């Protein structure tokens, strides 16, 4: 009985680790997307400033 309980606990722990890895990956994906979005905003800001200086 002890061995079976240990095996069940180990499987549960393994699944928990897999879920945590998925959550970490999702967090990394969101951070990565956020970095791209910020880069797009910065580029748009620079282009807008460049146009503003050219028009003045």
3-state secondary structure of 1: coil
Q: For 44, what's the count of Cα atoms within 13 Å in the CB-facing half-sphere?
A: 6
pLDDT for the residue numbered 46:
94
Note the pLDDT tens digit of each residue in 20-52. Answer: 999 899 999 999 999 999 999 999 999 999 887
3-state secondary structure of 56: coil
pTM for the whole structure: 0.48
- Does the pLDDT value for residue 56 go beyond 80? no
């Amino acid at each position: 009985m002890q061995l079976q309980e240990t095996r069940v606990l180990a499987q549960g722990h393994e699944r928990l680790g897999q879920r945590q890895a998925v959550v970490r990956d999702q967090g990394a994906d969101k951070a990565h997307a956020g970095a791209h979005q910020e880069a797009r905003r910065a580029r748009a800001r620079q282009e807008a400033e460049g146009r503003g200086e050219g028009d003045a």
